[in-house]
Amino acid sequence: MNKVCEILNIQYPIIQGGMVWTSGAKLAAAVSSNGGLGVIGAGSMSMDILREQILKAKTLTDKPFAVNFPLLYSRVDEQIEIALELGVDIFITSAGSPKKFTQALKAKGKKVLHVVSSPLLAKKCEDAGVDIVIAEGFEAGGHNGRDEITTLCLIPQTVDTVSIPVIAAGGIADSRGIKAVMALGAMGAQLGTRFLMTKESSAHPKYKELLTHANFDSTKLSIKKHVPVRLFKNKFYEQVKELEDRGADVSELSELLGRGRAKKGMFDGELDDGELEVGQICSLVKTIPSVEEVMEELISAFE
Amino acid sequence: MNKVCEILNIQYPIIQGGMVWTSGAKLAAAVSSNGGLGVIGAGSMSMDILREQILKAKTLTDKPFAVNFPLLYSRVDEQIEIALELGVDIFITSAGSPKKFTQALKAKGKKVLHVVSSPLLAKKCEDAGVDIVIAEGFEAGGHNGRDEITTLCLIPQTVDTVSIPVIAAGGIADSRGIKAVMALGAMGAQLGTRFLMTKESSAHPKYKELLTHANFDSTKLSIKKHVPVRLFKNKFYEQVKELEDRGADVSELSELLGRGRAKKGMFDGELDDGELEVGQICSLVKTIPSVEEVMEELISAFE
């Protein structure tokens, strides 16, 4: 049996990426009910919303699901307390040190996955006691590593560096992508954009519709002097690009970014002024099916 | 039988990337003699040297080999004439329009491969009559596309766009990488860095030695406002980065680049002041074996 399935008690080693504003209870429960690991993205959630979404997911599925916690969020301690209180068993941490919570969570019998963008950080995860690393390449949507290591380069080097299982993320949207990363030595795949583009995701319908028209060059890793993030090229992106082309510093970029840009774009559907985070593989994803249909295609990789 | 092997009359669909200053007759002949397709990189060669290298390759192997012609080179017409005169049968063109030479070469019974960085350009190749496209991702060394599409994203989209065979390039250095791109739908793989790091390549020994110590983050796609090129991070790269960070324009970058930088670095072994072009996957390549040993590992992908 696949080690990832064994550790997480799931049927297929397919993880739905935890995404801000687009992955709530409905999406996570649908993925878990169909044999993968659904993930609630806590990054964009207030304490009340997070509590509500975890409780809701429990009513929607009896299968295990996870919560993803970007560690750069100031109230992440409280978020993790809520997840513990509500009996979540699988914790995915990202954008911070794996040392911060792993030992405490392991002591409570929890499974811990951490997202990395380099073999070096994967080794730190293994040393910190993390169960599984999710190695995410340059092509992934949203926040991204500074080193720009692509999934194809990252996976074999990470597999050669650690002995814990490695899940590949970034640039995967169908069964071909899953087969490819398994050939590189990954024990499973995490997909974000493919699940964002489903009926069950909470991305704004106008945003999903926009993405069905995405082109191969519709995204760009941007805001590198601040926190690198892969953006869909809309009007807001053009403003970012203008600043970057003339060598603007972090403070100018932060000021343009402001607050609430991601919610505005992805959740409220303000497609011009909002920040639209998505993976480079979005142009391979032309449809908005149900999670069940997506899973059916993905698991064909294992047949 | 694999269609690429059939078209090119080779045993395994493994192509050695044509590289400036590092891929002459010796390397090309060794790859071809071992069942792949060796490629002489004409980009850095004068007319006399090119003639000499083609003639030399013919004495070293009786198997087919190719010559790669970057079309941005001002004397490329003359180079192609020389290759025709000496009976070269396989032409790889890059960095320019596939319309420029394809029809004339096809009319003489030649095979034409063209290097692309997007599905859009792949379609133009198919329309121009190209036999095989080599789709090369963001992680590749040397000159690179502006759209930063990674190999993992590029291959399935290119395969879905054209019906001619697609060879994958960028980020591949071992049999795992070959298996991965074949799973994505490629019919073969082109490897540059892995062959640069062999006894037979004409890269300076000091440069090869340096690369055995490469780290996962040792390269960066740079000089994007001029012609994007993936560089090894040495002193010259730091100068480039300084200019780019402050938003320098094309003329400043061109001035720094000057003439002969690539020869200085890769051929003459001036590791500080020379331009060192290499793929992101260089950190997976820790050894300098013979081509025969490299091919033996690579072809295990097909067993």
Q: Which residues contact B233 (CB under 8 A, 6 or more apart)?
A: B217, B218, B219, B220
Chain A, chain B: beta-carbon pairs less than 8 Å apart: 120
The answer, for A283 touching chain B at a CB cutoff of 8 Å, is yes
Identify the pLDDT of residue B41. Answer: 97
What digits encode the pLDDT tens for the residues A62-119?
Answer: 999 999 999 998 899 999 999 999 999 999 999 999 999 999 999 999 999 999 999 9
What digits encode the pLDDT tens for the residues A165-196?
Answer: 999 999 999 999 999 999 999 999 999 999 99
The answer, for B39 touching chain A at a CB cutoff of 8 Å, is no
Q: A206, A269 in Cβ contact below 8 A?
A: yes
Query: Where do the H-state alpha helices sit in A61-204?
Result: 76-85, 102-107, 119-128, 151-161, 175-183, 193-196
Using CA of residue B200, residue B203, residue B209, residue B215, what is the dihedral sign? negative
Q: A93, A69 in Cβ contact below 8 A?
A: yes
Instruction: List chain A residues with CB under 8 Å of B186.
Output: none
Instruction: Give the global pTM.
Output: 0.97
Identify the pLDDT of residue A303. Answer: 87
Q: Directed axis angle between helix A76-85 and helix A47-60, to 10°?
A: 30
Q: How far apart are CA A284 and CA B228, in angstroms?
A: 25
Identify the pLDDT of residue A259. Answer: 87
Tokens of A68: 């993803």
Distances (CA, A) of A92 to A114, A224, B76, B232: 5, 24, 54, 34
Tokens of B117: 């960085």
Q: Directed axis angle between helix B25-33 and helix B291-299, to 10°?
A: 40
Beta strands in A131-170, from DSSP E residues, in sequence order: 132-136, 142-143, 166-169
Using CA of residue A86, residue A90, residue A96, residue A102, what is the dihedral sign? positive
Identify the pLDDT of residue A247. Answer: 86
Identify the pLDDT of residue A155. Answer: 98
The answer, for A221 touching chain B at a CB cutoff of 8 Å, is yes
Instruction: List chain A residues with CB under 8 Å of B246.
Output: 247
Q: Are strands B132-136 and B166-169 parallel, antiparallel or unpaired?
A: parallel
Q: How far apart are CA A200 and CA A14, in angstroms?
A: 17
- Residue A223 Rama label (left phi>0; alpha psi -120 to 50; beta): left
Q: Interface pTM (ipTM) of the complex?
A: 0.97
Q: How far apart are CA A167 and CA A159, in angstroms?
A: 10
Residues of chain A where predicted confidence (pLDDT) is lower than 70:
none
Looking at the complex, report in whole angstroms how far the Cα of residue A187 sits from the nearest Cα belonging to chain B.
14
Identify the pLDDT of residue B225. Answer: 86
Q: B138, B221 in Cβ contact below 8 A?
A: yes
Surface of B (89-118) touching A: CB under 8 A:
118
The domains located in chain A, with CATH, are 3-202+287-302 (3.20.20.70), 205-282 (no CATH)
The answer, for A151 touching chain B at a CB cutoff of 8 Å, is yes
Identify the pLDDT of residue A226. Answer: 86
Distances (CA, A) of B58 to B63, B86, B199: 8, 10, 19
The answer, for A246 touching chain B at a CB cutoff of 8 Å, is yes
Which of these, B287, B137, B262, B272, lies nearest to B211 by C-alpha position? B287
Which residue shows structure tokens 């992934």?
A140
Q: B290, B31 in Cβ contact below 8 A?
A: no
Residue of B nearest to A184 (CA): B176
Choosing among A153, A179, A217, which should be mutated to test the B contact, i.e. which has the most B CBs within 10 A?
Answer: A153
Which of B150, B176, B245 lies nearest to residue A183, judging by beta carbons?
Answer: B176
Looking at the complex, report in whole angstroms how far the Cα of residue B265 sits from the nearest Cα belonging to chain A.
23
Main-chain dihedrals φ then ψ at residue B109, nearest 5 degrees: 80, 15
Which residue shows structure tokens 């954008």?
A95
Residue of B nearest to A225 (CA): B245
What is the residue-level pLDDT of chain B in tens, covering all 303 positions? 799 999 999 999 999 999 999 999 999 999 999 999 999 999 989 999 999 999 999 999 999 999 999 999 889 999 999 999 999 999 999 999 999 999 999 999 999 999 999 999 999 999 999 999 999 999 999 999 999 999 999 999 999 999 999 999 999 999 999 999 999 999 999 999 999 999 999 999 999 999 999 999 999 999 988 889 999 999 999 999 999 988 898 999 999 988 899 999 999 999 999 999 999 999 999 999 999 999 999 999 998
The answer, for B189 touching chain A at a CB cutoff of 8 Å, is no
